[in-house]
Structure 1
Amino acid sequence: MSTLTKDQRQELEQALLEQREDLQRHFESSMEDGAPAESLKDSTGELSSYDNHPADAGTETFERSRDLAIDDTLTDEFNQVNDALERMEEGTYGTCVTCGKNIPFERLEAIPYTAYCIDHTPNRDVSNDRPVEEEVITMPPSGAGEVRQRNAGKFDNAEAWEAVEEYGTSNSPAMAAKRDVQDYDENM
C-alpha cells in the first residue's frame, strides 16, 4: 500500500494524464505528416538517388533514423504512462514492482510513470563493456611522447623564430618592391 496522500495522488494522476495527452498529440501530428516511410526512396520521394550528392542521402538517413529513435523512445514512455495509470486503478501505484517498497513522492514527482524504487531501476548501472577495438590495439612503448622534440632533433618554439627569420616576413627586406634590398631603410 502506498503512503501517498490523496492530494499527492491526484497531482501525480493529473501529471500522468497531461503527459499522455502530450504524447498522443505528438503521435497524431506525426501521422498527419504521414506515416514513416518504409524505405529511403519513399521518404525522399525521389525515384533515384543517383543524381544527388552523397551528403544529401546521408542527411536524409540521419534525420530518418533520428525521427525513428525519437518515436521509439516516446512510444516506450507512452506505454509506461499507461501502465502507471493502470497501477493507479489497481491501487498498486507508488510501490516498487520489484521489492514492494514505497516509492518516495519526490521520485514520483520527477518521474510520475516510474514503477521502480531507486535501488531497482533497470539499466541503472553503467556498462563496463569496452569497445571491441581495444582487443587489437597495442599499448604505445613506454616513454612515447616524452621529450619527443628534443630526442628527435627538432627545435622548440624558442628556436623556431630564429630558424625562419632569415627567410623574411611580410614587412622585411625580402618582400621589398625593389631588388636586392639589404635592410629596412632601403625598402622605402
Structure 2
Amino acid sequence: MESFNGYEETVIWSPSQVFLDKEIGRGSNGTIVYQGTYPRGHRVAVKRLSEDQYNAKRQGYDTLKSGGDDSVHIVRLYEFQKHENFIYAMVSLCEYDLHHLVKSKWLYAELSEENGYPKPYLLELMRNVVDGLQNLHRNGIIYGDLNPSHVFIHKTQIAKLSMVGSCRCLAEDETSLRSDDTIIRGEASWGSC
C-alpha cells in the first residue's frame, strides 16, 4: 500500500502514473473498470480492455481521442496505455449510471411527479443523452448498445454516454449501416439486431 493524498491506495500496474485505487465494475469479455487517481489528484475511471476488444473498436476510440468527444455528454477519453496483453483507457469518472438511478426507488421517486411524468431534471438527463448521440453521429459513430448501464451521471449531475462495445463507425461515404444478419448485439437484456 502507498499513501497518496492522505489515503491508502493499492498500486496495481499504473499507466501514466495513475494509481488504481479499487475495482468498480466489470463488463463483457473480461473488461474490468478501476477507479484511479493521477498524481496531482485528478480522479479517473480506468477501463482494462483486451487488445482484441480495443482493435475491434479502434476507429471509434481514435475518433474520440482526436477530438470527436467535444460534447460534454460523452465520457471523456484522456489517454490509452498498453501493458502486456491489455489496453487501459483513462476516462472521466462518474458517480453512478442511469440503471442504478432508476433501480433506486427513493431516487427515482425524486425524479418523477406523482402522476408518473418525469420532473425537469430527468428530462434534462434525456436531453443530455440525445446531445451525446448527436455528437457521435456527427463523427460517424453509430452507438448500437444504448441502455441505462451505459449512461453515466457525472458529479456535475449531467448524463454522459460511455464509449463502449457495440459502437460501429461509418465509412466516409456511408450515412447508415445495413445488417442482414440476426446477430444480437449488446447486452442480453438490452440487445439489438
Question: Scaled by the length of structure 2, what TM-score is found?
Answer: 0.18
- Normalized per residue, which structure has more strand? 2
- Normalized per residue, which structure has more helix? 1
Higher relative contact order by CA 8 Å / sep ≥ 6: 1 or 2? 1
